[in-house]
Structure 1
């Protein structure tokens, strides 16, 4: 480890959707990679001479489990130097320089207020970590609504796993919503209509938003228009 940087080794790769891949990374110098659900790591990729142009940050998609292995889920961005390198050059056995855990996008100490986890695409990563952790440790909580927006059914990351968790956790509601799928029986449209409908009568709630800037900006405006204070809204911005 140098200045908080660790060498991680890629031990497993799985294509999750047509344009996303799951990366399992082991940090052999640590017995346990300890983090809070919702935190991220920064990778230093050999894609530029300047440090700040080599760094890419990704939320940890796995829950802390007492091991030195973490999972990242990464989308291939058209023209994106970081994701192009990760998809084209990184194989099982590749080394990746990483720093972390970093970030304060974590659940509050008390979970006695309703929580809305709102995301699109790979923004599901920190929420999967949070919900898996709550279930594994049987932590009591007020109702949690995970509202996950994608275009098509094939884009829904961790769909089977999250559906199963919803059957095991009485106060966890998994609500995938698709904007372009015609044969979909579930929620159609965008994430905003879903939380607005659930909150047609305002009540105390906390909001966690993760994904691309356009979705987060719109959600923040709409949630405040429902009468919520901006301090009830927590953001993790991608891109």
Structure 2
């Protein structure tokens, strides 16, 4: 079991109306080593029982040799953990954390297309992965980041993702909005239609086989459950699907 560490909040920034970015430094470590896609667990003073106090969040930043990590957190109505983080935590606050944890990480050798499918703050591990691939010139195939939001204002890291798309020719940023109205310039609907269209278009009469792919799913249970079924229906295998469940 990894030891508990003390982190100090060094910066807080609102990303959307209900989403906030927290930068946490771990002074007792020279650098915080982790693999993109991993998470940390916070022990928050919100309950007497340990397992009622623990909240896990994917690391939204990428390994950069420092002892600072970023978390992006959405305020959940009635959520004890996020209410505490939004109302009680300020710059200078200390947080007890453990990590890194998790196996939701990139393959050692990327020999297949990557589909990063997410909703809300589920974009966090994928931001880390794409940055890591770019920063380290890691050989890879196509990368599709399919990000489901309600409205345009909910698109976390939008400008950054668009900039990454211009820097990395193999990277496609594909946000889709379920409740956006009157804007013909954006993709509307849910994430499922987007990856189904790509997979179908990549398979044609001249090449009837599915392109090899890894599907990484991160978000709420309903989205993940439906995506798993749809990906299997396309003809992919269970081993092609990797998931990180929120909530």
Q: Tell me if TM exceeds 0.5.
A: yes
By how many angstroms is 1:3 displaced? 5.6
Root-mean-square deviation (Å): 1.0
Gaps of 5+ in 2: 204-209
Counterpart residue number, 2:135: 136
d(CA) in 1 for partners of 2:21, 2:140: 29
Q: Write out aligned runs for 1:56-75 (5 A).
A: 56-75=55-74
Q: Look up the match of 1:205.
A: 213
CA distance in 1, matches of 2:13, 2:196: 35
1:12 matches 2:20 = no
4+ residue stretches of structure 1 with deviation over 4 A?
none
Q: Which residue of 2 aligns with 1:236?
A: 244
Q: CA offset at residue 99 of structure 1?
A: 0.0
Cα shift at 1:118: 0.1
Instruction: Output the CA distance in 2 between the equivalents of 1:58 and 1:84.
Output: 15
- 5 Å-filtered alignment, 1:1-239, equals 4-182=3-181, 183-200=183-200, 201=203, 202-239=210-247
Contact 2:2 2:99 in 1 (8 A): no
- Paired residues in the alignment total 238
Comparing 131-140 with 11-20, which one deviates more in the overlay? 131-140
User: 1:110 Cα shift?
Assistant: 1.1
State TM-score, norm by structure 1.
Answer: 0.98
Output the TM-score relative to the length of structure 2: 0.95
Distance 1:234 1:140 in 2: 20
Q: In the TM superposition, what is the alpha-carbon distance from 1:140 to its structure 2 partner?
A: 1.6
| Residue 186 of structure 1, CA deviation | 2.3
Sort the Cα spacing of 1:3 and 1:135 in 2 relative to 1 into closer, same or farther, 3 A.
closer
Gaps of 5+ in 1: none
